[in-house]
Structure 1
Amino acid sequence: MFPQDRPRRLRTSPAVRRMVAETSVEPRSLVLPMFVAEGRSEPTPIESMPGVVQHTRDTARRAIAEAAELGLGGVMLFGLPERKDATGSGALDPGGILNVAIGDAVAEVGDALVVMSDLCLDEFTDHGHCGVLDSHGRVDNDATLDLYAKMGVAHAEAGVHMVGPSGMMDGQVGVIRRALDAAGHTDTAILAYAVKYSSALFGPFREAVASSLQGDRRTYQQDPANAREAIRETLLDIEEGADLVMVKPALSYLDVLAQVRAQVTVPVAAYNVSGEYAMVEAAAANGWIDRERAIDEALLSIRRAGADIILTYWAAEVARRSR
Structure 2
Amino acid sequence: MLEVENLVFDYPGHRALDDVSVRLERGTITALVGPNGAGKSTLMRLCAALDQPFSGTVRLDGEDVHANPRAAHRRMGFLPDFFGLYDDLTVAQCLQYRAAAQGVPRAQRKTVAETVAERLEIADRLGQKAGTLSRGLRQRLAIAQAVLHEPSFLMLDEPASGLDPSARIGLSGVLRNLARDGMTILVSSHILAELEDYSTHILMLRQGQVVDHAPLTTMGQVTERRVEIRLDFARPITELRRRLIAIGSIEVISCGIDEAIVVSDPDPSARAAMLVSVIEAGLPLASFAPERRSLQDIYLARMKAAAAERPPLRLVKPS
TM-score normalized by structure 2?
Answer: 0.32
Higher strand proportion (structure 1 or 2): 2
TM-score normalized by structure 1?
Answer: 0.32
Higher helix proportion (structure 1 or 2): 1
